[in-house]
Structure 1
Amino acid sequence: MTIRVAIADDHPTLLAGMEHLLSKVEGITLIGLVTNSTELVELLGRSSCDVVVTDFSMPGGRYGDGLTLLRFLKRRFPNVRLVVLTSIENSAVMKGIMDVGALGLVSKSDDLSHLEVAIRMAQLGNRYMSPAKSEQLLEQSPEIRAIDDHAVHLSKRETEVLRMYAEGLTVSEIGQRAGRSSKTISAQKMAAMKKLGLRHDADIFKYAQAHGLVQASQTSQKNAHRGDNDV
């Protein structure tokens, strides 16, 4: 049986490496290589596919990236199995990837030969994690684990504030967009952080990315280091 595979990654060198590896593997046929979510969805719309291998952080596409894209693919193409290739090491993000239905998780630091294994396992409906990803998950941060274990529930407005803050907006900008005062926005932000046990702005970005509030490519390091005055 031939496994029809689509590959999506915005790094040309890595894309070429995967093509070189998988094009030689018996029983696997590449139906296309794309560089963003727009091209991927168009490819899946016109070609039969069994397994998609996709990067996690892949900006520029109409359908986003990260958990946003994975959820969309599960809804639009429910019979296609998903394998994620990523350099992200955040254990909460990795858990989120598996929770939305991806069957394979392969690290870019591992040998690409693990892709073949992940693809074959996914086709059978089984999960597979490369060695680096398995090791990283064993080191899951206690803060994120506590959030998941206690099933914290935020209000709609608290979630909205965290999402916009993680996207890079200031408290004042969120207030203007939401039609509420900066004082109210600040209070909702602090209330959400207290519920989740988050102590720093950097924790907000990790939480938002891990729980699919923003696209993987939207959060930036400079946001994580904004001053404490913007509360």
Structure 2
Amino acid sequence: MKIAVIGGTGLIGSQVVKILNAGGHEAVPHSPSSGLDLISGAGLAEALAGADAVVNLSNSPTFDDASPAFFRTSMDNMLAAAKTAGVGHAVILSIVGAELVPDLVYYRAKVLQEDILKAGPIPYSVVRVTQFFEFVDAVLSWTADENTVRLPATLVQPMASAEVAQAVADVTVGSPLLGTRNYAGPDVFPLDELGRITLAAHDDKRTVVTDDTAGMFAAAKGDALIAKEGTVIVKTSYREWLAR
């Protein structure tokens, strides 16, 4: 298969390209650095020419009120170009439980992206995953000072980016799901506990303070972000990943 990987130079995209090419497919990464502009549409026709499938791993440059417009325009442009090019499968990466966190505009924007794909002209698959292990440090930094890290006790079930990439690659080379497949890590943590585990692993002496108003994930209530029935549970645990 020839597969266009939009966002193919990022954390997930670069791994997806390697997995697909190692499997004998022709995966070609596309990004602004290669001349692709999803908002203007520049480079889309060239990127999708001859492609059997397209994987869209692009992301909004911000998590704020601008994100819905980014996903609407980028998806409209991608689907129109994919239809013209005769692409037979369109895949996007989304977030487990996104529709259950309506107070986060970025999560609403990801649901919008899914809805546009589902209503579009291309056979599709939505891959939903939980938060990446690689982003935990960034999450801690949002609400940290030199002495403390303030985190809510929001339940999370994170997974390694390598297993996210494998999930995307596996779905891409299969038949279109015409639906959604969910993936999650093997362990559920309150986010504040995850913060303590992370700081201890880094020998970081700061204190985690439980604050259910702190940071973006404070908007997620109950079990919104953890695995639902039918979710594929991947193997790598957070502690195993940290130990590497």
- Relative contact order, CA 8 A, sep 6+: which one is greater? 2
Is the TM-score greater than 0.5? no
Structure with greater strand share of residues: 2
State the TM-score, normalizing by the size of structure 2.
0.41
State the TM-score, normalizing by the size of structure 1.
0.43
Structure with greater helix share of residues: 1
